[in-house]
Amino acid sequence: MKQPDAPAPAKAGDQTQLAGRTVLQIIPELDAGGAERTTIDVAAALAEAGARPLVAAEGGRLVSELQARGGVWIPFPARTKNPLAMAAAVPKLARLIREEGVDIVHARSRAPAWVALAATRMTRTPFVTTYHGSYAGRSSVKVAYNSVMARGDVVIANSEYTAGLIAELHPVGRDRVRVIHRGTDFRKFAAGAVDPARVLALRNAWSIEPDDRIVLLSARLTAWKGHRVLIEAAKRLTERGVADVRYILAGDDQGRSAYVREIDAAIARKNLDGIVRRVGHCEDMPAAYLASAVVAVPSTEPEAFGRVAVEAQAIGTPVVSTDLGAAPETVLAPPRAPAAERTGWTVPPDDPQALADALFEALSLGATARDNLARRARAHVLKHFSLEQMIGQTLDCYVALLQNGPQRA
């Protein structure tokens, strides 16, 4: 199957205005995750445009990649949620802004965003926020805490769903919202870009037999990502006679040892040892998607964007996702989309039977139907969710701020 080509790099409105400028992004740490990956992608684009990209964070496994791509890591206590420590960090950040001649500060998480909001007001520095998540909690205290992500001079929402959430919960920021979908580098997420040896290495690492197929759930180990729903669906599919499938749970536990014990107990209780497997963090996600027959995204709470669904569709692997949050933007499926436009499946949340039925349908696709689905899916995500589009639109925001200055009340 010939896949659509990735789009040519897009340019922001006038990137020349960024040359010689300093942009500081602040994030708790540079570890695995969509916000962290976006931070590095934007830093690399700024470096290419001749700007100086600083990233204030406590460290993490992605620091070396940031530095290799032209970013500058500034060790900073950005992970703390302690109110006293946050207050102490404000003058420290303000001093950093002045000493480094920072032109724009871009916050990507709530706790450091409160620090950055205060510091940018002290220094009169333009302030950008990206609303990366749906941020659980509807109490007045929690909503007030979350509202910092709607207080930027520009408020970037990573999906239409997120933009609607901001408008509903934080009307103060409604007029400054700009939807910029999370971008993916489709040159990496293409079947032809993955050496078959990488796929074989993963299958061997996961102890997958040559004749077995994989259903992959790639997400950190936290309850709302739906691991228990997939385990129950796996039980039902096994009882249905689907015996050649292994269900791989790939992701960090991030210290959630109690939840890991729950998952392991559920696997044992349903006699799925060896059928459902935890494999920890996976570094080679393009190979993981290509190794998989189906990718499951059974989240029980809304995904603000859904990076896994986009990346898997780009590779050409069928996706079954919960119909929550931004899923209707990233995965086209009936009844929201015509059957002829289907790029995957969406199912109700916390419904193991619906998930099992959709997985069975995806696993049962013939070669032609699978190829047609993959072609539609890749064309869809290339059109709407490319890294080039995200970078161009983000740099446009920076240029506009340099021209117009802070817009906050």
Q: Which domains are delineated in the chain? A: 15-183+386-404 (3.40.50.2000), 191-384 (3.40.50.2000)
**Whole-angstrom distance, CA of residue 286 vs CA of residue 191:** 8
Which range, 81-90, 301-310, 400-409, is most confident?
81-90
**Whole-angstrom distance, CA of residue 263 vs CA of residue 249:** 10
Q: What is the pTM of this model?
A: 0.84
User: What is the pLDDT, as a whole number, of residue 254?
Assistant: 79
133 vs 49: which has the higher pLDDT: 49
401 vs 4: which has the higher pLDDT: 401
Q: Which of 8-12, 207-211, 239-243 has the lowest mean pLDDT?
A: 8-12
pLDDT for 322-369, tens place per residue? 999 999 999 999 999 999 999 999 999 999 999 999 999 999 999 999
How far does CA 399 lie from the centroid of its chain?
25
Q: What is the mean pLDDT of residues 379-394?
A: 96
Q: Give the CA count within 13 Å in the CB-facing half-sphere of 24.
A: 29
Q: What is the mean pLDDT of residues 276-289?
A: 96
Sign of CA dihedral 24, 82, 226, 203: positive
Closest C-alpha among 10, 57, 16 to residue 33: 57
Q: Give the CA count within 13 Å in the CB-facing half-sphere of 384.
A: 23
pLDDT for 80-134, tens place per residue? 999 999 999 999 999 999 999 999 999 999 999 999 999 999 999 999 999 887 7
**Whole-angstrom distance, CA of residue 134 vs CA of residue 303:** 7
166 vs 12: which has the higher pLDDT: 166
Q: What is the mean pLDDT of residues 132-153?
A: 84
